[in-house]
Amino acid sequence: MESFSFDEFARRRRGGPPSDAWRRYVPIIPWVLAGLFALFLISDFSYTVEPHEQAVVLRFGAYQATTAPGLHFKLPIVDRVMKVSIEEHGLSLPYGPPLQAAQGWPGIGSSTTIARTAANPDDDETLMLTGDLNTASVEWTVQWRVSEPSSYLFRFPGEGDDRAARELLTYVARTVMNRLVGDYSFDEMIGPKRGDIAQQAREDTQRMLDAYDCGVTVTALQMQQVIPPDRVKPSFDKVNASVQQKQKLENEAEATRNKLIPAARANRDKLIRDAEGYASRTRAEASGEIEALLARYHAYQSAPEVTRQRLYLEAMQSLFETVKDKTIIDADLSGVLPLLNLAPTTNTTSNPTAVGEDAK
């Protein structure tokens, strides 16, 4: 009869293999564990950064490097890789919910289709006090991205969660905008200073974020709308209509002015040219008369008697041309006809001798 121990008897009743069978696998177990550990090390030896990301490498918890998109290598177990999205994000303020595209945030270089993800809360959140003690409903958008991943991760712990960054940016942007709105009047905000306010708000927001050293850069800030509150909008519309009417009248007056001034200037130039022409003509005539008088004077110096006689004859000729009825009397004539009547006469019975004696 075969003899066996109680343990062997229990093992045979369970139908198991011989008790020393598992011992054949004991030497293999360390090799299997070593292989699994080697596979873990190999898988932890490299990492890939997506095009819209940057990676921060920590070695024993301390900052080591920031890597660009692509395939990189690291020390297994020792190094820890934390990835940060560097794509552009947006905020609709003063409400605060993030702006995002319909299919998630687009990558770098793609166009951003922005839509508010939550319904507008109470419009009183948009009310701000302007510099002229009026209230205005102000809404604006902020575009931002992570520019320094290491500073961003150390300031906002938590990989892949930007809630803390959005909250900080919301508080900073609202603080800056409330201060700037209080420095300008309502008319300036809706008019010529609107672009300046947006530019100043972006610069001041960036300055405060740099003071926090959070690695966030504001890429754009745009004023969406600056409107009066609903309760005063009818009165504002009337004022705006009056301003537009005033602007229209000013434009019409300016157009009339622009039309009349060139015509007046043209008329002025014409009068000036006419006066200059008259002055030139008068000077030329005066110069001609002076030259004629000088010529006569030189002729008189050469032959005084002849010149005197010629001037006398020319003067008499000019005088006779202006007289209609002419009668020539010669006192030195010793005849029966001391005068010559050159005018036509109709009295043929008159006595010329008697006339001459009367005239004499």
DSSP code, position 97: P
Question: What is d(CA 266, CA 344) in angstroms, rounded to the nearest whole number?
Answer: 59
% of the chain exceeding 90 in pLDDT = 30
The alpha carbons of the chain give a radius of gyration, in whole angstroms, of 57
Report mean pLDDT in 10-residue bins for the chain, 360 residues: 50 53 71 71 79 89 88 85 90 67 37 39 76 88 93 79 88 93 88 90 94 93 87 79 90 92 92 94 93 84 83 85 74 59 53 42
Query: So what's the pLDDT on residue 148?
Result: 92
Query: So what's the pLDDT on residue 211?
Result: 93
The b/e string for 98-127 (b: 16+ C-beta within 10 A; e otherwise) is: bbbeeeebbeeeeeeebebeeeeeeeeebe
Question: What is d(CA 98, CA 114) in angstroms, rounded to the nearest whole number?
Answer: 9
Instruction: Delimit the domains of the chain by residue range.
Output: 6-83, 86-227, 242-321, 323-360
CATH topology of domain 86-227: Tetrahydropterin Synthase; Chain A (3.30.479)
Question: What is d(CA 78, CA 57) in angstroms, rounded to the nearest whole number?
Answer: 10
Q: Are 171 and 163 in contact (CB under 8 A)?
A: no
Return the structure tokens found at 334: 């010793």
Query: So what's the pLDDT on residue 121?
Result: 46
- Residue 207 Ramachandran class (φ > 0 left, ψ -120 to 50 alpha, else beta): alpha
Distances (CA, A) of 339 to 119, 321, 329, 349, 357: 128, 19, 5, 17, 9
Q: Are 293 and 286 in contact (CB under 8 A)?
A: no
> Which 3 state secondary structure label does DSSP give 19?
coil
In the block, residue with structure tokens 């039309």:
259
Spell out the alpha helix ranges (H) of the chain: 6-14, 28-43, 149-155, 163-181, 186-190, 194-212, 233-302, 304-322, 352-359
Question: What is d(CA 156, CA 214) in angstroms, rounded to the nearest whole number?
Answer: 8
DSSP code, position 25: T
pLDDT in tens, 160-213: 678 889 999 999 999 999 999 999 988 888 888 888 999 999 999 999 999 999
pLDDT in tens, 82-113: 888 889 999 999 875 444 443 333 333 333 33
| pTM of the predicted protein model | 0.53
